[in-house]
Amino acid sequence: MLKAVILIGGPQKGTRFRPLSFEVPKPLFPVAGVPMIQHHIEACAQVPGMQEILLIGFYQPDEPLTRFLEAAQQEFNLPVRYLQEFAPLGTGGGLYHFRDQILAGGPEAFFVLNADVCSDFPLSAMLDAYRRQPHPFLLLGTTANRTQSLNYGCIVENSQTHEVLHYVEKPSTFVSDIINCGIYLFSPEALKPLRDVFQRNQQDGQLEDSSGLWRGAGTIRLEQDVFSALAGQGQIYVHLTDGMWSQIKSAGSALYASRLYLGQYQLTHPERLAKHTPGGPRIRGNVYIHPTAKVAPSAVLGPNVSIGEGVTVGEGVRLRESIVLHGATLQEHTCVLHTIVGWGSTVGRWARVEVPPMTPIPTTPERTWTVRASSRTGSCCRPSPSAAASGSLLRCSS
């Protein structure tokens, strides 16, 4: 029996994802046509023996989240539950606080996945590695260049046994080219070190935290409090992958993740990809079109385009490397490149929204714009580098 835990954070986190997270909780933001965490749930549901998926975070259980959970349970025929933290507890505090729910039923092990990662999720391979060599902590790792590695948790491993000998979260100097992917497989014994951290927090006087007793003692950072402390003690191992992986921290990285998932659909969900049909729009490369979207036959879409629910795409529109969100309208002969068009937005006739493409690497995602305001007919938009790089609001004017 196996379980999975997805750490979804809360509204005070993910500020780099603004303004997109103002409209919908970040874990539900659509990437390649489906909510971000649906990719995680789909991967977990495919693991043999998976019995339950738990979401842990401190979002209020509002209507969109509740609807998503109900739909996920029906689609995957698995219990999918949300456990709300009473306060932000860090990447490990929620695991310890809800330890009884995680261990209920006696799972052999449980996966832990950060919600803001994009991956092909090699969970079965991780499970095989764990069963060959059981240890409390198994981390998924991948390689990065020296500059990129400074933005992630860095792992020094024994190349023969794959034991983690040293772990540093976002080091100031180069430590290793192996980085932490934020995807783990823990045994039930992994909760014991979390208990030790909790007890140490109490003894160290963190009960005086201004936010309250439990908030101080219950805050546990997996990376600094557990991985760094236990490295080299025979408890933490790494499973390396050469598959796709990226973080989703900003609007630009969401576009990059959408590209990766759309490419993966060729193997995993070919039915989600639009096909060129007589009398339909011209499709170039990987494109997702929601069934309720209305797309003019003279539009040219792709590559790497995702069109959401209720979107209207007018005649002669050119759309490439972009995400168009629910209810947006692209009027006739608009050109939208490397952009996220926000909910209910309108891009006027003959408008051109374009950002020069950059080399897409996870730590420096492509510059992108988030369009949230209606543009006037015939407007042409030019970015400032700082606004484009941050995915700032774009307001078009003639």
DSSP element (H, E) containing 258: helix 251-268
Q: Are residues 187 and 295 in the same domain?
A: no
pLDDT per position in the chain (398 positions), as tens?
Answer: 999 999 999 876 556 787 888 778 899 999 999 999 999 999 999 999 999 999 999 998 888 999 999 999 999 999 999 999 988 899 999 999 999 999 999 999 999 999 999 999 999 999 999 999 999 999 999 999 999 899 999 999 999 999 999 999 999 999 999 999 999 999 999 999 999 999 888 887 654 444 444 446 678 999 999 999 999 999 999 999 999 999 998 888 899 999 999 999 999 999 999 998 888 999 999 999 999 999 999 999 999 999 999 999 999 999 999 999 999 999 999 999 999 999 999 999 999 998 766 544 544 444 444 555 444 444 434 333 333 333 333 333 32
Identify the CATH number of the domain in which residue 30 sits.
Answer: 3.90.550.10
Q: Are residues 145 and 12 in the same domain?
A: yes
pLDDT the model gives residue 370:
53
Q: Are residues 23 and 155 in the same domain?
A: yes
Q: Are residues 192 and 326 in the same domain?
A: no
Q: Are residues 102 and 47 in the same domain?
A: yes
Q: 255 and 32 in contact (C-beta within 8 Å)?
A: no
Q: Are residues 242 and 288 in the same domain?
A: no
- Other beta carbons less than 10 A from residue 291's beta carbon: 5
User: What's the CA gap between 87 and 82, in Å, rounded?
Assistant: 15
HEC sequence for 125-164: HHHHHHHHCCCCEEEEEEECCHHHHCCCEEEEECCCCCEE
Q: 158 and 165 in contact (C-beta within 8 Å)?
A: yes
Q: 327 and 213 in contact (C-beta within 8 Å)?
A: no
User: What's the CA gap between 388 and 353, in Å, rounded?
Assistant: 11
Q: 285 and 266 in contact (C-beta within 8 Å)?
A: no
Domain that holds residue 148: 2-249
With CA atoms as reference, report the closest residue to 366 among 252, 258, 260, 261.
Answer: 252
Contacts of 269 (CB under 8 A, 6+ apart): none
pLDDT the model gives residue 361:
52
Identify the CATH number of the domain in which residue 333 sits.
Answer: 2.160.10.10
- pTM of the entire structure? 0.88
Domain-located, residue 353: yes
Q: Are residues 172 and 301 in the same domain?
A: no
Contacts of 262 (CB under 8 A, 6+ apart): 32, 273, 286, 287, 288, 304, 306
pLDDT the model gives residue 202:
81
Count the alpha carbons within 13 Å of 219 in the hemisphere toward its beta carbon: 16
Domain-located, residue 392: no
Q: What is the DSSP-derived secondary structure letter of residue 376?
A: P
Q: Are residues 188 and 243 in the same domain?
A: yes
DSSP element (H, E) containing 52: strand 50-57
Is 302 in a helix, a strand, or coil?
Answer: coil
Look at the chain and count its residues. 398
User: What's the CA gap between 56 and 85, in Å, rounded?
Assistant: 7
pLDDT the model gives residue 329:
97
Q: Are residues 19 and 144 in the same domain?
A: yes
Q: Are residues 146 and 48 in the same domain?
A: yes
Give me the number of domains the chain comprises: 2
What one-character-per-residue DSSP string does 53-96 give?
Answer: EEEEE-S---HHHHHHHHHHHHHHTS-EEEEE-SS--HHHHHHH
Count the alpha carbons within 13 Å of 337 in the hemisphere toward its beta carbon: 13
Domain-located, residue 115: yes
Q: Are residues 292 and 211 in the same domain?
A: no
Q: Are residues 190 and 299 in the same domain?
A: no
